[in-house]
Amino acid sequence: MVQTSGTPLIVKLLAGNQDESWTQDEVYDAVHWWKQLVAFIIGAVFGMVPYTGLLALGLFGAIFVFTSIIFYKSHLKIDEEEFGGHGELLNDGLGFHLGMFMLSW
């Protein structure tokens, strides 16, 4: 697992300590791995249900954006403007996450 500033990232994520400060690299790493997990789960569920076509891609996009915003606003408790705003946090690594969704779908 990624380790910066002495505390492993997984420990910071699981602790949920509000007094903990996040560096920009830690935020991007945490959001990246959260998005990978969400993309995999959505892809697997959509493959079992069987959703197809534009409906599935649209639902993936909506669920993906919603869960990402909820994650960094409620769990990480960061001000997104310090890290480039919603657009920067949502677009970071979008191709990788779409690829994970497609592979698990």
19-61 residue pLDDT tens = 567 788 888 888 888 889 999 999 999 999 988 899 999 999 9
More confident residue, 62 or 14: 62
Mean pLDDT (the chain, rounded): 82
1-28: burial string, b at 16+ Cβ within 10 Å, e else: eeeeeeeebeebbeeeeeeeebeeebbb
